[in-house]
């Protein structure tokens, strides 16, 4: 299929894209099964979506016939009262926005991270080819899991961001709520308190998302603490970075030192944010 | 000397059970497009594993062959685990493992999406 000529708006957006992302967009347009899919992709680019979002959008479109794609990316004409005027206007120009508004979910792909971040060095830590994301479409309310004794944490200082809401939605079936806090920030909690709280939750089997940054108050990367292991008086944390696909073990003392983390990207050297899970209720 | 039947068998003693092993399993399920809701449902179904190892293995095989048979990757994973159940203590540990599997799958989705809103340091 002939590659479409990009609109001025799309071309303007592409000037901000990294070279690799531009090349990938070309491949996505080549791979698009129909002219409609190509058009939807270039409109998503013109609307200012990130390379990762456009890539994930292309993945979703790929399996659709034209009528399915059109329906998935167009607000229903017979139910306009469900949408605000702003949503209707934006959806006209932005098919990806309409897709998500209608309940479509983008699942980041394996190639997501490398579009915006350098590949880690293989000798620093274990590199993984992993994409463990699933559609957060659980609706069943499940009883509490893993342990019967659950102390519900009080919400902590910093206002919740979108992460808490996304976590709540993604783990709704497990009856969890999430309390997000800046770490070592005036309105948040100390790193020591965060590590203590997270350590207890990890020992109960609950994963804990962490924000990493160079200084307090600046989060540039999100990772997941998967588990902790005790060895004598010390404790080791297993951390997974879903963007560089690195799985590492870190001594708790190193986490508390705020100087360096065992990921290949040394810029993100300390924990700056934390999202703590808590039971909504015990069944 | 044979291990005590009250002790977990070796796959459940690995420190990577809920680390690298779990991530490999998520990768496999993701590659097969297993929906999160199926993983959640599977974790819920496995919570009943509290009986003898024979009963636990039968429950896991039944889930693989019936309720989750349409999700081949999930059914395959269940069958593999069914063969690893050796002692009575293994059933609850398998249930806990699948609970973590489902939780980490959901958290991974949320984290990936939230990361798109982070400022880009360019480093």
Among candidates B35, B44, B114 on the partner chain, residue whose Cβ is nearest the Cβ of A134 = B35
- Among residues 78-97 of chain B, which lie with CB inside 8 Å of chain A? 96
Per-residue confidence (pLDDT) for residue A7, from 0 to 100: 84
Kindly provide the ipTM of the predicted complex, given to two decimals: 0.91
- Does pLDDT of B48 surpass 50? yes
Task: Classify residue A231 by burial, with Cβ atoms within 10 Å: 0-12, 13-18, 19+.
Answer: exposed
Q: Quick one: what percent of chain A has pLDDT higher than 70?
A: 72
Asked if B1 has any chain A CB less than 8 Å from its own CB, the reply is no
Local structure of B91: helix, strand or coil? helix
**Gap between the Cα atoms of A10 and A95, Å rounded:** 13
Please choose, from the candidates A28, A105, A13, the residue with its C-alpha nearest in 3D space to the C-alpha of residue A62. Answer: A28
- Does pLDDT of A108 surpass 60? no
Contact call for residues B20 and A126 (beta carbons, < 8 A): yes
**Gap between the Cα atoms of A99 and A91, Å rounded:** 8
- Does pLDDT of A276 surpass 50? yes
Question: Looking at A136-150, B3-17, B43-57, B71-85, which range is the least confident one?
Answer: A136-150
Write out the H or E segment, with its range, that includes residue A270. strand A270-279
Among A125-129, A140-144, B22-26, the range with the most confident prediction by mean pLDDT is: B22-26
Contact call for residues A259 and A232 (beta carbons, < 8 A): no
Q: Of B116 and B89, which is predicted with more confidence?
A: B89
- Does pLDDT of B9 surpass 80? yes
**pLDDT confidence of A130, banded at 50, 70, 90?**
very low
Contact call for residues B73 and A123 (beta carbons, < 8 A): no
Local structure of A12: helix, strand or coil? helix
Helices B53-65 and B72-84 pack at an angle, to 10 degrees, of: 170
Query: Which residues fall within 8 angstroms of residue A84, CB to CB, at 6 or more apart?
Result: none
Each residue of A185-208: pLDDT tens digit? 887 799 999 999 999 999 999 999
Contact call for residues A60 and A44 (beta carbons, < 8 A): no
Q: Taking the mean position of all CA atoms in its chain, how far away is CA B109?
A: 17
Q: Kindly list the strands in the beta sheet with A221-231, ordered across the sheet, starting from the edge strand earlier in the chain.
A: A126-127, A246-251, A234-241, A221-231, A208-213, A270-279, A176-182
The count of C-alpha atoms lying within 13 angstroms of the C-alpha of B111, restricted to the half-sphere facing its C-beta, is 30
Write out the H or E segment, with its range, that includes residue A89. helix A85-93
Relative to beta strand A221-231, strand A208-213 is: antiparallel
Q: Of A121 and A56, which is predicted with more confidence?
A: A56
- Does pLDDT of A282 surpass 60? no
Residues of B whose CB is below 8 A from A170 = 36, 106-107, 109-110
Please choose, from the candidates A12, A64, A16, A1, the residue with its C-alpha nearest in 3D space to the C-alpha of residue A42. Answer: A12
- Does pLDDT of A145 surpass 90? no
**Gap between the Cα atoms of A136 and A139, Å rounded:** 9
Per-residue confidence (pLDDT) for residue A281, from 0 to 100: 56
pTM for the structure as a whole:
0.62
Residue to mutate among A114, A148, A170, with most B CBs inside 10 A, is: A170
How close does chain A come to B58, measured CA to CA in Å? 22
Per-residue confidence (pLDDT) for residue B120, from 0 to 100: 58
Q: Do A242 and B30 touch (CB under 8 A)?
A: no
Per-residue confidence (pLDDT) for residue A13, from 0 to 100: 83
Per-residue confidence (pLDDT) for residue B35, from 0 to 100: 95
Q: Do B120 and A220 touch (CB under 8 A)?
A: yes
Other C-beta atoms closer than 10 Å to the C-beta of B1 total 3
Bridge partners (DSSP) listed for residue A248: A239
**pLDDT confidence of A138, banded at 50, 70, 90?**
very low
User: What backbone phi and psi angles, to 5 degrees, belong to A178?
Assistant: -130, 135
């Amino acid at each position: 299929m002939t590659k479409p000529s990009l609109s001025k708006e799309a071309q303007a957006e592409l000037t901000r894209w990294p070279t690799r992302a531009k090349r990938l967009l070309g491949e996505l347009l080549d791979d698009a099964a129909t002219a409609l899919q190509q058009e939807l992709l270039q409109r998503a680019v013109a609307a200012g979506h990130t390379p990762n979002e456009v890539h994930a959008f292309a993945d979703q479109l790929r399996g659709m016939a034209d009528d399915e794609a059109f329906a998935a990316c167009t607000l229903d004409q017979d139910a306009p009262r469900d949408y605000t005027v702003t949503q209707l206007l934006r959806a006209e120009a932005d098919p990806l926005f309409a897709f998500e508004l209608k309940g479509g979910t983008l699942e980041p792909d394996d190639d997501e991270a490398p579009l915006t971040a350098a590949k880690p060095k293989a000798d620093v830590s274990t590199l993984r080819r992993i994409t463990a994301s699933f559609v957060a479409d659980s609706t069943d309310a499940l009883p509490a899991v893993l342990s019967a004794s659950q102390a519900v944490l009080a919400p902590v200082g910093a206002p919740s961001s979108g992460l808490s809401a996304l976590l709540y939605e993604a783990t709704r079936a497990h009856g969890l709520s999430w309390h997000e806090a800046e770490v070592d920030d005036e309105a948040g909690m100390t790193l020591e308190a965060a590590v203590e709280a997270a350590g207890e939750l990890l020992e109960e089997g609950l994963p804990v998302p962490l924000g990493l940054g160079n200084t307090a108050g600046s989060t540039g990367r999100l990772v997941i603490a998967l588990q902790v292991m005790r060895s004598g008086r010390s404790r080791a944390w297993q951390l997974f970075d879903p963007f560089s696909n690195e799985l590492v073990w870190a001594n708790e003392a190193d986490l508390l030192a705020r100087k360096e983390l065992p990921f290949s990207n040394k810029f993100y050297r300390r924990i700056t944010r934390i999202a703590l899970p808590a039971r909504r209720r015990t069944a | 000397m044979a291990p005590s039947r009250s002790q977990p068998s070796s796959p459940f003693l690995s420190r990577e059970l809920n680390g690298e092993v779990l991530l490999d399993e998520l990768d496999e399920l993701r590659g097969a497009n297993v929906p999160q809701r199926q993983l959640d449902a599977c974790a819920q179904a496995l919570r009943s594993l509290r009986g003898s190892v024979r009963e636990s293995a039968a429950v896991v095989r039944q889930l693989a062959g019936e309720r989750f048979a349409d999700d081949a990757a999930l059914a395959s994973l269940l069958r593999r685990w069914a063969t690893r159940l050796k002692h009575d203590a293994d059933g609850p540990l398998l249930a806990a493992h699948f609970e973590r599997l489902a939780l980490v799958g959901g958290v991974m989705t949320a984290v990936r999406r939230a990361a798109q809103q982070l400022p880009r340091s360019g480093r």
